[in-house]
Structure 1
């Protein structure tokens, strides 16, 4: 294995924040070597592996969602390279946002593996190692999808290493699968909702995604898709999608949520109490994106970025009766009185969650769904006449997507995504975008869709259709037919089910549809945007310039198109 370090002297240090169930590393000036050789100290080291996930997922989501068919730039500029491809170069803003933290997590896991041979030997040692190697596999999976082949690091680095060699994507996939095979044999089976730790279900779920993704590659194995289907079914474990969709991401005014529900397979966990030392930095930003600016502190509304706004394509995916429409979007923005420190004022948006008398709330904005007819509009206006605010705005279909900001660039003129809302955020909107909601990385609804795609690609569309229709039945819409069932339909269904859940760029890249779909549905992107050096398409992201500059091996190859 090739040694690698992206920053000189990376040290997996103490992180201040902690998760619902994971007590993170706090060495209190005790020498690390002595601490890690005890059972309690080794457990702290494993916990630190989990904590690094916050560096990967907790910040901006450009590498997960920008430059796709689902989300486009609104009023606030996005990083032009990642969102539009024309200016995408190795030194572009945010290109390194996965490269660096993924290798920090990998180094943390390598440290755990090293100390596992010298620490106190306990009955659960291999279980803890299985959890760690799952996390390393997760990091490498993000890297190989984003950048292609990357250096494989398996040693605990204690002194700077300044020269590294690039492994092939095929070798990286082999490393990922080896880690996951070990994890599957050793992790526990306790329900994630009670343990908060990697279990066999999570490993099966990730194995399904890895085999499915490798199945599209030129170096795929003949049985990759069939293996993906088997692992996906093992992760499903016969569990039906029994929770109403609107309960998967529910948030309440008292700060409680349903993030660790029976359908959550793996997540990045946050805890409100743990952010008290630095409330503006220790949470995450997921709720901040996918919406218009709503007025912010002056209206009492949540701070929003006004970028990664849904495209017309994304909004048009939903049909009448689909429970995911109202569960995903804030289709009515309401206002109502709230009293703070004895002062009562009209507050926008949050009364939806907090009001004890919801019937008294006034509607400031309503976003008409695609299926509304003129008769539907008349009926809605009549039924809600008494609820309309004096400044009420009715947004017709087609006039609240990302592209509409070119015509009407005002607050609330793009429909907000509410599924990630934090009704009781750590900080007021005036101080910054901070949430302590968990970021759900894997959940059962997606696993059904992974199984659907795997069965289709394995040549068993009938079973694949059954898996997909389980998702549609929970949403309350008619079953898809075998004639409809293809990759495009699966991508549409993933769009409806997983909007904003840090999946879309990887979905399009995996299925070979990134260029066609992004250029067809994102008003900022044309097919020519993807053409790079020597006419090569920019399908992978570039290896970050910062990594190349630190590397003394100047023969390290850049990706095609850059």
Structure 2
């Protein structure tokens, strides 16, 4: 197994504290090497590994969400050549292609360093658990890499000097290493309730997703789906989805009983960099609403906006509709969170759902005079946005024209000051938009139910798959049966539709489509900016399914036998 790699400017330095739960101790005991062999020094080194997650998930989401059935450009466009959002111009040098490559290999190097020092540091009762945590974090980084780029170099050593020649391992070898790391971590990590650290449930959850994804690969087998289902069962352990969807996405409630693993942020850890040390999840997936420095509006990008398909997924009675989108906007946006009685708010904008009848429309307008006076019998108030008028298919020319995703709102987030208009040409420094200190949830129980449903479906057990899928829908209907219909048939599209409703914006979608082999079909069908499969045509008759290996990595590699992905 080849184990050498060039680190393209990614050797991680001391990162900021990871959370209120896991904080790096930067006290000096002389050299770093001397410090890491002490118990507090090693603990600090492990905590740096958790902090590395901030760089993986904290910045631009293009590699996670762009170029899918759920999101396309809004009034602003993705930076540079729009390669990740439209594929036609996607090359190894496109903006954002190297984001995961750099941040994941940085995390891998940090994990390797921690595992190396675990063999020579002071022995403590917590040491085995910390080694397991490091192996989980390394496996998570490799899982993101192998899904995005295919086979990548496997490096397991602590490297302190630049290496300028490296070989590429196969995707199958990378999956083998991921599964090895997770199986070794499982017996050693803690079994306590989630408190910010990796526990057994988090390891089992990631293993379930790894086996599910591997099952679709050419080297996968049907037993991978069976294993994934068994692991998802172990994670669920009979726990129903009893937290309301509103409370699942409520700001400040990220440590609810359904959270399995998250990247944790805090106001304290962001104090030294108000708009640079948090995450940017609150910044994406919605319309820019005007100057936010007045305190009235959040800072939005207007760059990744929901497609007509994404909006059409929601049915009447599905609580995820109003808890995913800000369907009503008061005179000040954040009054939604601060008002003692929301029913008394003056609503300036309303986004009509797909199921509204003309009678419901008239009733709503009559009861909300602040939407604006009706100019003529056939004219709607200026603040009333009828169904079909506010998706990314619309050429937006003014603020409020497209709907906002509110499930990531952070009322405590300061205005970043970055001009979203710059994204039409010169990319804004990603750090300038990272002002949210809400925890970034990577894994939660609602998704595990959907992983179980998909695994059982692929294993040939549709009845059990439907049971898991309908539990997600039961919660979405407000906890009662019959509010939204119970599904009686299942296929990969019904699973992907439900994942779209439940997980909109949660950094899973591109991986979902790539995993299930539906990336081209569903993107062409539902993305208004990609209307022909020719957008995916690459070199040598290959399709642009995998992302290209970053050009910066290829340029620094003296081994010229390192192959680029065939479409590039």
Specify the alignment match of 2:176 in structure 1. 174
Q: Distance in 1 between matches of 2:338 and 2:416?
A: 16
Q: Does 1:557 align with 2:558?
A: no
Specify the alignment match of 2:86 in structure 1. 84
Specify the alignment match of 2:353 in structure 1. 369
Gap runs ≥5 in structure 1: 252-256, 336-347
Correspondence list, 1:190-201, <5 A: 190-192=192-194, 195-201=195-201
Q: Distance in 2 between matches of 1:25 and 1:97?
A: 28
Q: Distance in 2 between matches of 1:3 and 1:214?
A: 22
Correspondence list, 1:63-102, <5 A: 63-79=63-79, 80-102=82-104
* Aligned with 1:330 (options 317, 326, 329): 326
Question: Contact 1:246 / 1:327 at 8 angstroms: preserved in 2?
Answer: yes
Q: Does 1:161 align with 2:160?
A: no
Query: Over the residues paired in the alignment, what is the CA RMSD in angstroms?
Result: 1.5
Q: CA deviation at 1:360?
A: 4.1
Q: Distance in 1 between matches of 2:299 and 2:285?
A: 12
Correspondence list, 1:32-431, <5 A: 32-79=32-79, 80-192=82-194, 195-251=195-251, 257-297=252-292, 300-335=296-331, 348-356=332-340, 358-385=342-369, 387-388=370-371, 392-404=382-394, 406=395, 408-425=396-413, 427-430=414-417
SS at match of 1:274: coil
* Length-normalised TM-score, structure 2: 0.92
Correspondence list, 1:5-20, <5 A: 5-7=5-7, 10-20=10-20
Moved more, 226-235 or 272-281: 272-281
SS at match of 1:297: coil
Gap change, CA 1:226 and 1:409, over 3 Å in 2: same
Question: Contact 1:363 / 1:389 at 8 angstroms: preserved in 2?
Answer: no
Q: CA deviation at 1:222?
A: 3.3
* Aligned with 2:516 (options 511, 514, 538): 511
SS at match of 2:230: helix
SS at match of 1:104: helix
Question: Contact 2:6 / 2:162 at 8 angstroms: preserved in 1?
Answer: no
SS at match of 1:273: coil
Specify the alignment match of 2:377 in structure 1. none
Q: Does 1:540 align with 2:527?
A: no
Query: CA-to-partner distance for each residue in 1:477-510, whole Å, 9 max, x for gaps?
Result: 4354333x10000000000000000000000000
Specify the alignment match of 1:487 in structure 2. 492
Q: CA deviation at 1:29?
A: 7.1
Q: Distance in 2 between matches of 1:285 and 1:437?
A: 10
Q: CA deviation at 1:379?
A: 1.7
Q: CA deviation at 1:334?
A: 0.5
Q: Distance in 2 between matches of 1:456 and 1:479?
A: 20
Query: CA-to-partner distance for each residue in 1:338-374, whole Å, 9 max, x for gaps?
Result: xxxxxxxxxx311111234544421111000000111
Q: Distance in 1 between matches of 2:491 and 2:139?
A: 29
Q: CA deviation at 1:27?
A: 4.5
Gap runs ≥5 in structure 2: 374-380, 419-431, 478-482
Q: Distance in 2 between matches of 1:359 and 1:450?
A: 37
Q: Distance in 2 between matches of 1:8 and 1:521?
A: 37
Q: Distance in 2 between matches of 1:240 and 1:360?
A: 34
SS at match of 1:223: helix
Q: Distance in 2 between matches of 1:377 and 1:423?
A: 30
Q: Does 1:475 align with 2:480?
A: no
Query: CA-to-partner distance for each residue in 1:171-218, whole Å, 9 max, x for gaps?
Result: 0000000000011111001111xx211001001100000000000000
Q: Distance in 2 between matches of 1:359 and 1:320?
A: 20
Q: CA deviation at 1:78?
A: 0.8
- Count of residue pairs brought into register by the alignment: 538
Specify the alignment match of 1:460 in structure 2. 461
Q: CA deviation at 1:144?
A: 0.2
Q: CA deviation at 1:310?
A: 0.2
Moved more, 541-550 or 471-480: 471-480
Question: Contact 1:259 / 1:437 at 8 angstroms: preserved in 2?
Answer: yes
Q: CA deviation at 1:298?
A: 6.0
Q: Distance in 2 between matches of 1:164 and 1:277?
A: 37
SS at match of 2:114: helix
Question: Contact 1:3 / 1:154 at 8 angstroms: preserved in 2?
Answer: yes
Question: Contact 1:225 / 1:454 at 8 angstroms: preserved in 2?
Answer: yes
Q: CA deviation at 1:378?
A: 1.2
Query: CA-to-partner distance for each residue in 1:31-76, whole Å, 9 max, x for gaps?
Result: 1111110111111111111110000000010000000000000111
Question: Contact 1:461 / 1:482 at 8 angstroms: preserved in 2?
Answer: no
SS at match of 1:209: helix
Correspondence list, 1:427-438, <5 A: 427-430=414-417, 433=433, 434-438=435-439
Q: Distance in 2 between matches of 1:389 and 1:15?
A: 50
Q: Distance in 2 between matches of 1:6 and 1:25?
A: 29
SS at match of 2:387: coil
SS at match of 1:442: strand
Query: CA-to-partner distance for each residue in 1:96-119, whole Å, 9 max, x for gaps?
Result: 000001000000010111111111
